[in-house]
Amino acid sequence: MLRENDLLKTIDGETLLNSPLNSPEFIISHLIPQGIHLLGGSPKIGKSWLVLWMCLQIANGEPIWNYETRRGTVLYLALEDSFERLQSRLLEITDEAPNNLHFAILSKSIDDGLNRQIENFIDEHPDTVFIAIDTLQRIRNNDTKSNPYASDYDDLTFLKEIANKNHIAILLVHHLRKQRDDDPLNMLSGSIGLSGAVDTVFVLSRPKRTDNLATLYCSGRDIETIEIPLEFSEKSFIWSKHNGEEATVKTLDEVVVTVDNYFSSAVEKSFKGTATELAELIKESDGTEITPPILSKRLLKFHSQFCSLGYSCEFGRTNQGRFIKIERLGDGSDISDGKYDTKPSVNPSVTLSRKEPCQPT
């Protein structure tokens, strides 16, 4: 007799392809989604300056280069610094620091209660969106396992669980090996278990230590692999884009924004029909052209984003074909203009329904 836990819980391809799911929520658009991330760099290369500035920008809801950020409470565990040094650095990069940016210079280790400390902080500050830990080595277990990969992977497992549970991003600062490699991502100190356990890897690399130019190599599961040229200012102590600013990259998908703009101005606040019919209405309204396949795919992929703007959205099928049903909830006066003020709800069930409306957060 088969027991329930002996059976695999599966989902068929059609249901998976046509079911609205929660997409990763980005703390820094197109760079850092919720999850766990690793920033590597050689000692004294400027990693801490970069992390401090990123924490400040996120706490203020200000862009990081041309990437939009999601404002919220930020915790910076500066475990190799003192409050005097942190104050000195803050005074170099800003005239004001917000009260939702918190610092600690001491913490427990991974095997000695760090998870409880982080969970307690999040309980006290439920709007937490970003935690930086500088450095990873300061919280590592003194593990004598014969398998370095297993040790490295296990060290990050509980942090990944905290990040996913609370829909936040945790950035770990780490060092590089002294040996050079054609692929900068292979230079992270430790086994490949570290890079395998995290969602995104960043490597800050300078051609010469005396050079103010550097490249930030970015690679991850939910972002494109890119290289960002940076320049460090010895006057402002800020890493800026070397090739100048580009158009702001939003945290909200552009198709989601387009559909929201349509319903914000439309007389009818609800719609039921095909993606083709909705695309035609949008084109008649403001001239924006979206192909029906792109429209339906983007609303599916970024379903939680769309719902966070105050909509219910259902996907279904009849004998005549697929349809989309959208309803704007309320008058939209309390919607947060593209900013996430609360964390999205997550349904842990693997059973999905194509006709179940999403719930606004």
Each residue's pLDDT tens digit, 94-126 = 999 999 999 999 999 988 899 999 999 999 999
Round to whole Å and give the CA distance between 256 and 309. Answer: 9
Domains annotated on the chain, with CATH: 30-241 (3.40.50.300), 252-361 (1.10.10)
Please tell me the predicted confidence (pLDDT) of residue 184. Answer: 64
Nearest of 249, 228, 227, 255 to residue 68 by alpha carbon: 249
Percent above pLDDT 90 for the chain = 55
State which of 17-31, 202-216, 223-237 shows the largest mean pLDDT: 223-237
Would the pLDDT of 190 be above 60?
Answer: no
Tell me the backbone φ, ψ of residue 76, rounded to 5 degrees.
-115, 110
Distances (CA, A) of 156 to 43, 117, 134, 171, 291: 22, 16, 14, 11, 42
Q: Is the pTM of this model over 0.85?
A: no
Would the pLDDT of 313 be above 70?
Answer: yes
Percent above pLDDT 70 for the chain = 81
Confidence of residue 24 (pLDDT cuts 50, 70, 90): confident
Please tell me the predicted confidence (pLDDT) of residue 244. Answer: 64
Would the pLDDT of 340 be above 90?
Answer: no
